[in-house]
Amino acid sequence: MLKIWGRDTSVNVQKVLWLVHELNLEYERHDVGGAFGGLDTGEYLAKNPNRRIPTIEDGGLVLYESNAIIRYLAGKYASADLWPADLAARAVLDQWMDWMQTTLYPEFITVFIAMVRTPKADRDGAAVEATAERLGKQYAILDRHLATRDFVSGGGFTAGDIPVGALCYRYYSIDIARPALPNVEAWYERLQERAPFRDVIMTSYESLRVPGT
């Protein structure tokens, strides 16, 4: 059975869980990271020396890095609808998966930490506003891309929607200024029609919030 290590309030863990639910795979999940600790144990370090989450084990293969896990699970278990065989189509998915990790996520997590993990009294309001503005500009890139397609890769939902889409719920639920993003918002509504998105992504992150936020 597929094993997953990582707390379910982590966005990077949620990405993997979302795909696993889309694929209807049986799995067992172990809480590690954050308040659960466990990342410094010898057993976990043998699986993931980075002391991060998620990590999976599938048929003897141990793998970390959430997007690599998504590529592996989709390649092994998904249909062509979720993971196209055409290399050009798959390259588009890879592009947006990597864009999420390298371009969108750094700005997002900075804002999220400021708004959820930092008491108001300790926030640098000007810095938060500037980062939120940069984040909005990144989302505007995605908005332009979605102007001519319903999903990241085109007309149908694929595994490529998962990494970028996993941030949507938190982006639209934290108290920051956001630009008008009609195409992103329409895509977000389409994602909400999927039960795995609602069950895995649209969940409370109040346990991450510190007093005074």
Position 99 confidence tier, pLDDT thresholds 50, 70, 90: very high
57-79 average pLDDT score: 97
Mean pLDDT of 186-197: 98
- What is the homologous superfamily of the domain 2-77 according to CATH? Glutaredoxin (3.40.30.10)
pLDDT band at 155, cuts 50/70/90?
Answer: confident
Distances 72 to 57, 84, 115, 167, 170 between C-alpha atoms, Å: 11, 13, 33, 21, 26
Task: Identify the pLDDT of residue 68.
Answer: 97
pLDDT at 75: 96
What does the block give as tokens for 61? Answer: 């293969």
Question: Is residue 54 reached through a cis peptide bond, with omega within 30 degrees of 0 on the bond before it?
Answer: yes
Angle at 150 between CA 22 and CA 161, to 5 degrees: 40
**CB contact at 8 A, 28 and 3:** yes
Domain ranges of the chain: 2-77, 87-201
Read off the pLDDT of each residue in 16-25 and give the average, rounded to a whole number.
Answer: 98
Query: Kind of pairing, strands 2-5 and 61-64?
Result: unpaired
Nearest-angstrom CA–CA distance, 140 and 211: 32
The answer, yes or no, to whether residue 172 has pLDDT greater than 90, is yes
Q: Round the average pLDDT of the chain to a whole number and report it.
A: 96
CATH 3.30.70.20 fits 87-201, yes or no: no
Question: 159: closest CA among 11, 56, 54, 19?
Answer: 19
Whether the domain at 2-77 and the domain at 87-201 fall into the same CATH topology: no
> Under a CB-based contact definition with an 8 Å cutoff, are residues 102 and 179 in contact?
no
If you average pLDDT over residues 3-16, what whole number do you get? 98
Judge whether residue 19 has pLDDT over 90: yes
Distance, CA of 188 to CA of 170 (rounded, Å): 11
